[in-house]
Amino acid sequence: MLTLNDSSLYECKPFYGMEIERRLCSSTYGRGKGAPGYTRRTQQRRVAMSLWETVRECPNSVMESLTRMYVDEFDQLLQDLLPKEPLLKTSATKLCFADKIFLVFIWITKYEEYSVLALLFGISRTVVCNLIDIALPILCDHFKQFIPNKLPRGARSSCLDRKIIAIVDSTIHATKRPPRDQHLHYNSNYKRHGMLTHLLVTFNGDIAAVQTNVLGRVHDSTAARRNELFPKVLGKNRFALGDPGYAGVSWVVAGFKTNQLKTPEARRFDTVSRAEQAQVEHVNNFIKKCQVLSKTNMFRQGLEKHVACVFIVCGWFNWMKWTFGKFS
């Protein structure tokens, strides 16, 4: 008969949960009170051993599946956030600073239920909620500094024209159906209620500026006309490349719809335009894989936390690109 401690159960572990479960069920860390071999020292060792210390012994693929970062990248993030440690004094006294940040990033990446995180870290659901409430504004302030709201000097321009120096695109983040004014939040294109985020991305793949908390009903071109930040970032007589949804916006060079491709020039323009706009899809792909901002998982924790997650994830993308050269 197989038992929880039988190693044959874990010979093929297809996802990170098996590795964590194996370590939590190991002879030292997993024995409960009253089990054979349980001593006071065993209890002390259980309390002293953090989940982060457990996971960092696992392969990098385990860490990446949990937080989308490798161990050395997470270590660097902890060093950057160390001055903010006094601000994270919460009722989660049994968690070390690394475990608190680890918990929040698991929530951002996986959007697990509070009860699952409480079970994983050995704290109550209320403590998890309070920790996320306190940590999100701190992380938001930290990562917003990596969204420059300006274009770097010598930024690459489009092959179509030197005056086209950025790409604009939008993405939706699913939210639960609001109790009233539901039509304002419903997007007929994505067929769901949600909040829109517009991104201004350079041809180097950096996020230059972000506009979020746009009602799901608002069309891309309407939101772009009301956007005062992006034209200011671009500067005078500078433009951004966009899809056909941005047609009619003064600072956007919009692509053609399929039924407009009637000449060879239009078809060549469309080919180059779509190829260059692929740069922004790499950014969108990173954002959508963070489950708090996905198209499918409905966010239920309120607008303020949702907006904070947008700035955290966008700043986090730039931080990993600039610090470790990822996504290049």
Average pLDDT rounded to a whole number, residues 161-190: 92
Average pLDDT rounded to a whole number, residues 208-220: 95
The confidence score (pLDDT) of residue 272 equals 94
Average pLDDT rounded to a whole number, residues 124-139: 94
The confidence score (pLDDT) of residue 221 equals 95
146 pLDDT band (50/70/90 cuts)? very high
The confidence score (pLDDT) of residue 49 equals 57
Most confidently modeled range among 15-19, 91-95, 199-203, 278-282: 199-203
pLDDT tens digit string along 256-278?
998 888 899 999 999 999 999 99
The rounded Cα 206 to chain-centroid distance in angstroms is 15
- pLDDT greater than 80 at residue 82: yes
Average pLDDT rounded to a whole number, residues 84-106: 87
At 77, which helix (H) or strand (E)? helix 71-81
The confidence score (pLDDT) of residue 275 equals 93
DSSP notation for 9-26: GGSS--SHHHHHHHHHTS
Average pLDDT rounded to a whole number, residues 134-146: 96
pLDDT tens digit string along 300-318?
999 999 999 999 999 999 9
Query: CA-CA distance, 41 to 38, in Å (whole number)?
Result: 8
Q: What is the mean pLDDT of the chain?
A: 85
Give the pTM: 0.84
Contact predicate 29/35, CB 8 Å: no
Helix/strand/coil for 190: coil
pLDDT tens digit string along 97-124?
999 999 999 999 999 899 999 999 989 9
Contact predicate 249/234, CB 8 Å: no
The confidence score (pLDDT) of residue 328 equals 66
Which CA distances in Å does 22 have to 28, 45, 86, 113?
11, 17, 33, 21
Most confidently modeled range among 10-19, 31-40, 46-55: 46-55
